[in-house]
Amino acid sequence: MGRMGKIKKAGKKAGQRTRSVAKKLVGRVTGRAKKRRRAKVAAAVAGAAAAVAAGVAVVRARRRGK
């Protein structure tokens, strides 16, 4: 189920017919903020790993050049 579906469903559960109020529940309902935070952390970790790998590659290249 997509994010919109979730929002609509939440609205219905709260006894509303429209999406306008459901929209206000968005964060609580979809857990979107949490997911984005997690994605950020994952990206940071991946970035760090990539940087380390690049550093190692540079050192190796230098050694070869010697």
* pLDDT of 43: 82
Q: What confidence tens digit (pLDDT) does each residue in 19-66 have?
A: 666 666 656 666 677 777 888 888 888 888 888 888 888 888 888 887
14 neighbors 28 (Cβ within 8 angstroms): no
Task: Answer whether residue 18 shows pLDDT above 80.
Answer: no
Residues 53, 36 share a domain: yes
Range of the domain at 21: 1-30
Residues 44, 26 share a domain: no
Residues 47, 24 share a domain: no
* pLDDT of 9: 74
Residues 63, 52 share a domain: yes
Residues 36, 7 share a domain: no
Residues 26, 37 share a domain: no
pTM of the model: 0.34
Residues in contact with 1: Cβ distance below 8 Å, sequence separation at least 6, in sequence order: 9
* pLDDT of 25: 60
> How many domains is the chain partitioned into structurally?
2
